[in-house]
Structure 1
């Protein structure tokens, strides 16, 4: 019998690039319950991925890990956003649903030097098909990978006041670079 989640790292590397850095769960002095992996793709993208959220006591249909992919020079910004979101998930003891909007109560940015005020939990807009679920040895999904799409306060408010589909349409119509945490709002 194959160990559960045994293909997690190979799965990440197949879709996101080589995992070249790892941050221990105790990096901040206390055990936060998850580490971080940093996967680097050959096309100058970096993905910050939680490693260990799947073992936490949170309510989910499938165990989850969170991913945020950005341009490599914005690694620091993604490194801030992923733990902020993960702490929300752990604090409420519930995983993320697809198309869920997570927004700061404060209209200001959560990542200094950007307009990013939260995330939309979604499927990865740039990874090949098959990325969003890690299959077990029988081919059944055993882990869900939720992609954190950085969004501005105006975009998140727009999604809440209209619909998430309206936000996706606005992003598409504006050809929004969802990998750029320094971008302007699309709405």
Structure 2
């Protein structure tokens, strides 16, 4: 697979596809009622190890994941990196920790008094349902990307339906 013209035609290593496939399968199991954490078996491929610490690397990964997940899930997935993550979550959101560690407190509408408290380590993925409230504390040098998942236009339910027909990334 090729990253596309925005990525200078860099070939995507096979391990990138395995990571995307893991995220797709993870999303198929997520609901809009509770947060979920993925400890992926594969790491996102890094095309240039000298560039791993660069925010430009995060932008390329974010764009690639948005495009790949949009194709696999059949719903728009948008890059939202840079948007504040503290407070109410306006849309279903995926957070990928690209460096360092963050600590999350996530309260849902169903259990606002009992927030889930968890650390997010490099390469881990956190799913946040719409309407949950978050508090994030980052360690020095930590970086993450975030993506929002739109609701399908044809009215399928928010629960698992948008992801049931997800296809393997090509």
For Structure 1 versus Structure 2, the TM-score category normalised by the shorter chain is: under 0.3
What TM-score comes out, normalization by structure 2 length? 0.26
